[in-house]
């Protein structure tokens, strides 16, 4: 067995050596189909295994005798690959004899303490330099420091450095929480004091003052500076704190130097959820206002607009920050230039405006709004007060409002809506220019008017209402006392200049003399319970209420009468006689010798009407040239343009086609009927177009059918088959009494299935149901078309039969020719047979 094994090994070795001697390169692989690369003497290929070089300890590696150039081993002590070059072993990774990095326990360091470390650069300008990747944006950090919770504590961006401090109370206690800058002793034995401490509720900076040299020059005190692109010298000083001053500079040379949340100078905090929550101090030098929405707690300064904001800051739009403005409180906004807004959601929109309070709003230029929801919208207006309250103290929802220019509203719910108005008190309203409303719920609407007291109204120009519920509605009117409009109490109530009020008020004074309410110019009220609220209005009698202009009212009926229509003369109660002292009716008019009782003439003396009775007793309406309307005395016949009507209504047409027009109130469409001028035809027209007529000669009914009046003309088409399906019926209408014979016709629904175009719809009076109808004239057209269709069908059948007859005749002629030929053949055959028999 040993001999056989040795022979086998020899044969394998022989074959292997033969291959080495004959091949130019060798492949070691478990892939039988793989061929070694021609450029390599030895090509090792595997997808599941690797190449294992000799593994030695450091001492074993160093002890190798005469190591060859390029000898490669793996140092198991250092876990590094080493190769031999000249007389030195070099670390394959670092290219140095001792390696680039060293390790001592948990500490890792550069082995050569003279090395300078660069990240992002090959030429670091110090012991350690980090250069940003060009692809990093303004919002991405170049590098950062993260605490054990994963919160970013320190981050460096393209335009600045951000330091975030945990704002929970437990994290800022002692000298290790928050953010602090401290000092050290010359002996470097440890910190000696804190120079700067930032916590959620404060920022503290301590400067050494014991030695004047400690804060002199550019190196003393506390300073924040910039660097040049060459990174070899300081360029600008951004902040300096000394014992006598604090100075801060923000780079404004480019729009990208202080934009976003990473530019300028900011001190912020972070939550345990690893996200930045609030800015405690934010000073921005951007050339446009920053948008802060939703709001954030901040102290914010905008150098570009020289504006200052503090509290819960809200900036919904870059234009919502006014130049030289100041906003403080919860989401207060100073939008106008030189404006101030302080409080809860206060707003100052106008230039030089001021808003202070809960939801105070100053919108007008130079306006002032102070108080709960106070609103000043007019230029130079003042609103001082709170939302109005009713007698129970419940809010009315009406804020103190100064809407008029240079107006002033002071009190609960006081309001001014016109320029120069003053409203002082509770729910007072100054709605008149330069008016004054004082007290409780007093109102002025007239220019230069005054209302003082409770519930008074001064509506007239230069009017005055003083007392309780007094009202003065017209120019130069005065109302003094209690509820003068009702006439109760010892009151004087002049409500219109140049007006007169005399009478008795039973309700309050029991027939005591008082002045009744007059609310319009030149009005007169005489009597009892008489009120005139119209220009040039006159009321005489008892129980009269005039609310219209140019009215003369007399009432002796004992009932109250109201007038709301202008230009009225009215007499209520009793009878009125004109031309007679003993009227027999409410109005009894006796005509003069002309026969006309009433003459109505147009104001310029042009057109006129006369109304009266003729000697015949007829009632005539005469326009000066023609009797336009006549009512016949005996018969009641009416004549239009006819003095002697011959029937119930007798109309004599003018020189046109129509006597009567009936117009639709919804769409102004109309029908007209009349006798045609000259032709004597009875004409029916729709919207001015003649639709049909009745002939005066034979009474025939003609329908307009001129081609020039029609459009979209097309043939009816074949209808015979459908006409044959029509079902003529006899019927009674439900509204008939069934005494007359039944009517003949069709059922619209049956016709609709065959000829839907023949159906029309209509509504019965006071019935919203849609009914279907037919025009039987259309069936004459269908009948003619059906006859045409039937004729075509008959002609087709006749032509078909004629063709068949002609074909049969031709066949008959052919058969006759064949019979004739056959007969000749038979005769010839018979003749031949006879000849043969005779032989």
181-191 pLDDT, tens digit per residue, is: 655 544 544 44
Cα 101 to Cα 81: distance, rounded to the nearest angstrom: 14
Question: Are 66 and 41 found together in one domain?
Answer: no
Residue 484 CB-density burial (10 A; 0-12 exposed, 13-18 middle, 19+ buried): buried
816-835 pLDDT, tens digit per residue, is: 998 888 888 888 888 888 88
In a domain, 633, yes or no: yes
Query: Of the ranges 433-442, 533-542, 737-746, which one carries the lowest mean pLDDT score?
Result: 533-542
Residue 769 has pLDDT above 90, yes or no: no
Using an 8 Å Cβ cutoff, are 237 and 221 in contact? no
In a domain, 16, yes or no: yes
Question: Are 580 and 645 found together in one domain?
Answer: yes
Can you say whether residue 595 is alpha, beta or left, with left for phi > 0 and alpha for psi between -120 and 50 degrees? left
Q: Residues 123-137: what's their mean pLDDT?
A: 86
Total domains in the fold of the chain: 3
Q: How many other β-carbons are positioned within 10 Å of the β-carbon of residue 671?
A: 15
In a domain, 263, yes or no: no
Query: Of the ranges 89-98, 607-616, 665-674, which one carries the lowest mean pLDDT score?
Result: 607-616
Cα 191 to Cα 179: distance, rounded to the nearest angstrom: 15
Nearest 10 degrees: CA dihedral of 264, 270, 275, 276? -20
Residue 367 has pLDDT above 60, yes or no: yes
Question: Are 79 and 31 found together in one domain?
Answer: no
Question: Are 110 and 83 found together in one domain?
Answer: yes
Cα 400 to Cα 362: distance, rounded to the nearest angstrom: 12
**Both tokens assigned to 78:** 């250092």
- Domain end call among 94, 115, 136: 115
Beta strands in 364-484 (DSSP E): 368-370, 375-376, 382-384, 401-402, 408-410, 415-416, 422-426, 429-430, 436-440, 443-444, 450-454, 457-458, 464-468, 471-472, 478-482
Cα 319 to Cα 317: distance, rounded to the nearest angstrom: 5
The reported pTM is 0.36
Higher pLDDT, 795 or 528: 795
pLDDT band at 696 (very low <50, low <70, confident <90, very high): confident
* Peptide bond before residue 766 is cis, with ω within 30 degrees of 0: no
Cα 293 to Cα 428: distance, rounded to the nearest angstrom: 38
pLDDT band at 671 (very low <50, low <70, confident <90, very high): confident
Question: Are 614 and 631 found together in one domain?
Answer: yes
Helix or strand holding residue 203 (H, E)? strand 202-205
In a domain, 598, yes or no: yes
Cα 481 to Cα 461: distance, rounded to the nearest angstrom: 19
pLDDT band at 167 (very low <50, low <70, confident <90, very high): low
**Both tokens assigned to 77:** 């002590």
Question: Are 46 and 102 found together in one domain?
Answer: no
The pLDDT value given to residue 632: 78
At which residue do the structure tokens 């595997």 appear?
A: 46
Cα 143 to Cα 825: distance, rounded to the nearest angstrom: 131
Question: What is the three-state SS of 142-188?
Answer: CEEEECCCCCEEEEEECCEEEEEEECCHHHCCCCCCCEEEEEECCCC
Cα 272 to Cα 220: distance, rounded to the nearest angstrom: 37
Q: What are the Cα distances from residue 105, in Å, to 102, 108, 258?
A: 10, 8, 44
Cα 69 to Cα 87: distance, rounded to the nearest angstrom: 9
C-alpha 100: how far from its chain's center? 68
Question: Are 70 and 26 found together in one domain?
Answer: no
Question: Are 583 and 602 found together in one domain?
Answer: yes
The pLDDT value given to residue 206: 63
Average pLDDT, the chain: 76
Per mean pLDDT, which of 12-21, 104-113, 370-379, 614-623 is the most reliable? 370-379
The pLDDT value given to residue 588: 77
pLDDT band at 436 (very low <50, low <70, confident <90, very high): very high
Q: Which candidate, 397, 404, 369, places its Cα nearest to that of 385?
A: 369
- 436-440/450-454 β-pairing: parallel
Q: Residues 275-296: what's their mean pLDDT?
A: 62
Higher pLDDT, 793 or 524: 793
The pLDDT value given to residue 92: 77
Spatial CB neighbours of 296, under 8 Å, sequence gap ≥ 6: 278, 279, 312, 313
Higher pLDDT, 685 or 754: 754
Query: Of the ranges 476-480, 535-539, 776-780, 809-813, which one carries the lowest mean pLDDT score?
Result: 476-480
- Domain end call among 64, 94, 115: 115
The pLDDT value given to residue 332: 93
- Domain end call among 634, 651, 668: 651
In a domain, 85, yes or no: yes
Q: What are the Cα distances from residue 566, in Å, to 549, 704, 744?
A: 5, 50, 59
DSSP string, 576-640: EEES-SS-SSSEEE---TTSEEEEEE-TTS--EEEEEE-TTS-EEEE-SSSEEEEE-TTT--EEE
Per mean pLDDT, which of 204-213, 369-378, 497-506 is the most reliable? 369-378
Question: Are 103 and 70 found together in one domain?
Answer: yes
Question: Are 35 and 69 found together in one domain?
Answer: no
The domain of 99 spans: 56-115
Cα 109 to Cα 129: distance, rounded to the nearest angstrom: 16
Residue 141 CB-density burial (10 A; 0-12 exposed, 13-18 middle, 19+ buried): middle
Q: Residues 646-657: what's their mean pLDDT?
A: 75
The pLDDT value given to residue 735: 81
Higher pLDDT, 199 or 513: 199
The pLDDT value given to residue 350: 94
Cα 323 to Cα 312: distance, rounded to the nearest angstrom: 19
478-512 pLDDT, tens digit per residue, is: 777 665 442 333 333 443 343 333 333 322 222 22
What pairs with residue 307 in β-bridges? 302
Residue 456 has pLDDT above 80, yes or no: yes
Question: Are 586 and 640 found together in one domain?
Answer: yes
At which residue do the structure tokens 């030089």 appear?
A: 352
Higher pLDDT, 284 or 746: 746
- What number of helices (H) and strands (E) belong to the chain? 5, 69
Cα 185 to Cα 192: distance, rounded to the nearest angstrom: 6
In a domain, 613, yes or no: yes
Cα 236 to Cα 766: distance, rounded to the nearest angstrom: 93
In a domain, 45, yes or no: yes
Degrees, nearest 5: CA angle 400-406-410? 30
Helix or strand holding residue 789 (H, E)? helix 777-838
Q: Residues 360-373: what's their mean pLDDT?
A: 94
Residue 524, SS3 per DSSP: strand
Q: Which candidate, 717, 726, 714, places its Cα nearest to that of 776?
A: 726
Half-sphere exposure of 203 (CA within 13 A, CB side): 10
In a domain, 751, yes or no: no
Residue 85, SS3 per DSSP: strand
The pLDDT value given to residue 291: 82
Question: Are 80 and 105 found together in one domain?
Answer: yes
pLDDT band at 4 (very low <50, low <70, confident <90, very high): very low
Q: Residues 451-469: what's their mean pLDDT?
A: 87
Q: Residues 330-340: what's their mean pLDDT?
A: 94
């Amino acid at each position: 067995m040993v001999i056989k094994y040795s022979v086998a090994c020899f044969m394998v070795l022989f074959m292997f050596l033969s291959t080495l001697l004959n091949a130019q390169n060798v492949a070691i692989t478990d892939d039988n189909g793989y061929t070694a690369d021609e450029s390599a003497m030895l090509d090792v290929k595997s997808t599941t295994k690797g190449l294992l070089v000799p593994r030695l300890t450091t001492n074993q590696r160093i002890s190798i005798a005469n190591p060859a150039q390029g000898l490669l081993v793996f140092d198991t002590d250092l876990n590094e690959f080493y190769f031999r070059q000249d007389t030195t072993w070099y670390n394959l990774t670092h290219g140095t004899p001792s390696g680039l990095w060293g390790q001592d326990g948990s500490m890792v360091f550069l082995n050569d303490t003279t090395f300078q470390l660069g990240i992002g650069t090959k030429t670091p300008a110090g012991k350690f330099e980090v250069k940003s990747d060009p692809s990093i944006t303004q919002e991405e950090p170049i590098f950062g420091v993260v605490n054990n919770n994963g919160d970013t504590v320190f981050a460096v961006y393209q335009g600045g450095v951000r330091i975030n401090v945990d704002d929970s109370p437990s994290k800022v206690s002692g000298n290790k929480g928050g953010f602090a800058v401290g000092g050290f002793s010359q002996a470097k034995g440890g910190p000696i004091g804190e120079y700067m401490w930032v916590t959620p509720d404060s920022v503290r900076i301590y400067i050494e003052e014991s030695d004047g040299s400690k804060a002199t020059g550019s190196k003393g005190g506390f300073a924040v500076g910039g660097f040049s692109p060459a990174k070899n010298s300081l360029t600008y000083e951004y902040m300096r704190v000394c014992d006598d001053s604090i100075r801060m500079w923000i780079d404004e040379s480019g729009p990208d130097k202080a934009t976003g949340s990473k530019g300028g100078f900011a001190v912020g905090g972070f939550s345990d959820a690893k996200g930045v929550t609030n800015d405690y101090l934010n000073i921005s030098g951007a050339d446009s206002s920053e948008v802060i929405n939703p709001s954030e707690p901040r102290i914010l300064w905008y150098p570009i607009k020289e504006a200052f904001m503090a509290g819960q800051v809200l900036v919904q739009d870059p234009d919502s920050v006014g130049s030289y403005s100041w906003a403080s409180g919860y989401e207060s906004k100073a939008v106008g230039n030189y404006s101030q807004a302080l409080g809860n959601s206060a707003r100052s929109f106008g230039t030089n405006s001021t808003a202070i309070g809960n939801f105070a709003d100053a919108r007008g230029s130079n306006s002032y709004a102070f108080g709960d929801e106070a609103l000043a919208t007019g230029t130079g207006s003042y609103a001082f007060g709170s939302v109005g309250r009713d007698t129970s103290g419940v809010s009315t929802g009406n804020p103190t409002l100064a809407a008029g220019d240079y107006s002033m509203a002071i009190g609960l719910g006081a309001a001014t809506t016109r320029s120069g108005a003053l409203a002082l008190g509770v729910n007072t309203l100054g709605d008149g220019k330069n008016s004054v409303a004082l007290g409780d719920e007093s109102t002025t609407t007239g220019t230069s008017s005054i209302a003082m007291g409770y519930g008074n109204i001064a509506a007239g120009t230069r009017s005055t209402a003083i007392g309780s519920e007094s009202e003065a509605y017209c120019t130069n009117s005065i109302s003094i006392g209690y509820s003068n409009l009702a006439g109760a109490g010892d009151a004087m109530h002049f409500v219109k200049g140049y007006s007169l009020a005399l009478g008795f008020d039973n309700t309050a004074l029991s027939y005591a003399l008082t002045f009744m309410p007059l609310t319009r110019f030149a009005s007169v009220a005489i009597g009892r319970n008489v009120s005139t609220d119209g220009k040039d209005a006159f009321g005489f009698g008892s129980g009269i209420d005039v609310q219209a202009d140019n009215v003369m009212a007399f009432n002796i009926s004992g009932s109250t009468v109201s007038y709301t229509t202008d230009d009225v003369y009215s007499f209520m109660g009793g009878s009125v006689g004109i031309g007679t002292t003993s009227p027999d009716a409410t109005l009894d008019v006796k005509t003069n010798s002309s026969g006309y009782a009433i003459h109505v003439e147009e104001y310029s003396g042009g057109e006129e009407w006369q109304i009266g009775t003729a000697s015949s007793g007829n009632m005539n309406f005469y326009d000066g040239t023609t009797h336009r309307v006549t009512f016949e005395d005996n018969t009641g016949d009416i004549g239009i343009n006819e003095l002697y009507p011959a029937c119930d209504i007798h109309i004599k047409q003018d020189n046109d086609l129509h006597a009567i027009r009936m117009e639709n109130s919804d769409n102004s469409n109309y029908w007209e009927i009349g006798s045609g001028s000259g032709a004597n035809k009875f004409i029916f027209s729709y919207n001015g177009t003649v639709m049909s007529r009745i002939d005066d000669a034979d009474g025939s009914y003609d329908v307009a059918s001129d081609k020039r009046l029609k459009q979209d003309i097309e043939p009816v088409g074949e209808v015979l088959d459908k006409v044959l399906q029509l079902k003529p019926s006899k019927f009674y209408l439900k509204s008939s009494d069934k005494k007359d014979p039944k009517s003949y016709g069709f059922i619209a629904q049956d016709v609709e299935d065959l000829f839907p175009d023949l159906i029309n719809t209509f509504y019965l009076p006071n019935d919203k149901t849609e009914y279907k109808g037919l025009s039987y004239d259309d069936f004459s057209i269908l009948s003619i078309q059906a006859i045409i269709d039937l004729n075509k069908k008959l002609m087709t059948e006749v032509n078909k039969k004629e063709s068949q007859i002609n074909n049969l005749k031709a066949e008959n002629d052919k058969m006759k020719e064949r019979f004739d030929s056959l007969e000749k053949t038979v005769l010839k055959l018979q003749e031949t047979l006879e000849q043969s028999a005779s032989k």
